Structure 1
Amino acid sequence: MRWMIWAGLAALLVLSWFLLPILSPFVVGFIVAYLFDPLVTRLDRHGVSRTLGTSLIFVLGALVLVVSILALVPVLVEQTMRLVRLFPQLLDIVQSRFIPWVNAQLGVELDVGMLRDMAIKHGETIGKVLAQGLGNVSGTGSAAFVAVMNLLLAPVIAFYLLRDWPRVMARIEALLPRHWSGTVVHLAGESDRMLGNFLRGQLAVMLANGVTYSIGLTLIGLNTGIAIGMFAGLVSFVPYLGTIVGVLLALLAMYIQADSLLPLLLVLAVFGVGQVLETVAWQPRFVGNEIGMHPVAVIFAVMAGGQLFGFFGILLALPVSAVLIVLGRHGLEAYQGSGFYAGRQGPPAPLERQVDPDGEG
């Protein structure tokens, strides 16, 4: 019987691999249901049925999405295009100010004209490739159909999973072997507490960082502040990456816009305040120490996920690390409670003291 179970699991994995292109709406729906299940459960405890609670969550989510699209997306698109157009201006500044200073100081001849030509050439090439790719996607009926179906199915799947979440989890638990059930449920519960709190908290921290940077950069007069601030908040799930990228982009944009060094101090002040708020307010309030990973370990996990599984590996690196931490913690506890660790077989016999014939020990 055991070999049949393992064969069935292997067949399921192989089937999932072949069905990977159509699994994305199910994965998205599962993630959405997982994130919002505590809120619906809380409403259920206060007398609101799961069907009504799920409906309320989706209505509010749809309203927020519509308002964001109408109010925020056009601004982000406009500022992003403005930010892209800063690159040729940056090359002009480098050519007219930085290169002459370097030539005078080092006695060399540098020229960024070739760099400009390469950037324009490759920019046109990238644009043609993207346009061709979009044309192929739009021209392929099956690809367009799958994309539209994924877009429409994800919220539907999320709604039904969120409404029936307790029953789905109960059925999964009922399939576990009884002698494994207690251990698996305990590990799953602990992983759920760590992973759920971390995911929801980290999303809140990213949003708070994005809003903080966007407001601060806009207040100091940077006309691409919202785009840079939201991008810095988006990538802040990697320690210090959001700050580093945001500071560099904001400094370049502000210098080109203001043509002065003094406003750059305001940019540094904005990100300094943002870092302080993230350290003393956002992280303790929303995330706490749910994972407890060292920043170097976080960076390694993100890089490893990207190397192994690409963009999705980057997104899933920290959640997977959270689950592995729970499993590793229990494995360590089992090891430390084992007879091998405690030496219950008895300590090694002491070495006999050698006595020389003269009795000098």
Structure 2
Amino acid sequence: VINKTSRGTFQVVTDLFITLFTMFYFFRDGDRLIQRIKYLSPLNDAHEEELMHRFVSVSRATIKGTLLIGLVQGVLGGLTLWFFGVGSAILWGVVMVFLSVIPLVGSWLVLYPAAIIQLILGNIWQGIGIFLVTVVVIANIDNLLRPRLVGRDAGMHDLMIFFSTLGGISLFGIMGFIIGPVIAVFFLTILDIYSIEFKPDLDLAQSSSVEKHREESPSATTQS
């Protein structure tokens, strides 16, 4: 258990370092990188601008949603500790705000030890209460709020945001909570561009399919 915890902590710290390191160079060289990508892109200017607009929207929505979710979890965690008589609830609430912003960490890092300490001290109901509130309420805030907060601003379905975030985190670690939705919105935007560029061909194929179905229907009825 200790080895698994150590490996998990090391992985989180490593992912956080890589995220901050990458963000530094993106902020510094981002404009040149974007211009280079636009230069090499085979898409026309309108489609490039649409892709950039969707990319910025989903990135901004993801970061804003993460900060808001962290604030909600920290406040609820602090109120939970205060309600069950744990000291320095405001301080621990502030700590939980920062912990909740970090993916794969969260407020449980404070609440679970608080519940265990209460049980050790003989405060059985307080310990059980903190544990239940953490598991039932606070642990599910991210799953409930993130799809709505991010999906509303990014123009994506709640289910798409939910699965793209989970998939991104499982593949890319901490950075996945941004990369996952960005890849999803990139894919959906490409589909939209495809439907616009090839609309005549798609409409023709659909009408041909409908006509073929109409021609086959009477013959099938006659044979029956």
TM-score band by shorter chain is 0.5 to 0.7
Distance 2:196 2:115 in 1: 49
1:206 maps to what in 2? 69
Moved more, 268-277 or 219-228: 268-277
Q: Residue 343 in 1 paired to residue 207 in 2?
A: yes
Deviates more, 1:203-212 or 1:261-270: 261-270
Correspondence for 2:44: 180
Q: Secondary structure at the match of 1:175?
A: helix
Alpha-carbon deviation of 1:343?
1.3
Q: Deviations over 1:198-226 (max 9, x none)?
A: 12322322331343134224423335962
- Residue 320 of structure 1 pairs with residue 183 of structure 2: yes
Aligned equivalents of 2:140 and 2:112: distance in 1?
Answer: 18
Q: Identity over the aligned pairs, expressed in percent?
A: 10
1:191 maps to 2:58: no
Contact preservation (8 Å) 1:306, 1:312: yes
Render the CA deviation track for 1:48-75: whole Å, top value 9, x for unaligned: xxxxxxxxxxxxxxxxxxxxxxxxxxxx
Matched, 1:305 2:172: no
What's the CA shift for 1:184? 1.8
Provide Cα deviations, 1:140-165, integer angstroms capped at 9, x if missing partner. Answer: xxxxxxx9xx97x975x566558xx5
Aligned residue in 2 for 1:216: 79
Distance in 1 of aligned mates of 2:161 and 2:41: 34
Task: Identify the structure with bigger relative contact order (alpha carbons < 8 Å, sequence gap 6+).
Answer: 2
Residue 347 of structure 1 and its aligned partner are, at CA, apart by 0.6
Task: Pick closer, same or farther for the CA change 1:178–1:288 going to 2, 3 Å.
Answer: closer
TM-score (normalizing by structure 1): 0.39
1:234 — aligned with what?
101
Deviation of 1:309 after TM superposition, in Å, equals 3.9
Larger Rg: 1
Query: Which whole-Å CA distance do the structure 2 matches of 1:342 and 1:264 have between them?
Result: 60
Q: Which structure shows the higher helix fraction?
A: 2
Q: Secondary structure at the match of 2:153?
A: coil
Going from structure 1 to structure 2, the CA distance change for 1:211 and 1:181 (only over 3 Å counts) comes to: same
Inter-partner Cα distance in structure 2 for 1:201 and 1:285: 12
- 1:255 partner SS: helix
> Could you tell me which amino acid in structure 2 is paired with residue 264 of structure 1?
I
**Residue in 1 that maps onto 2:153:** 290
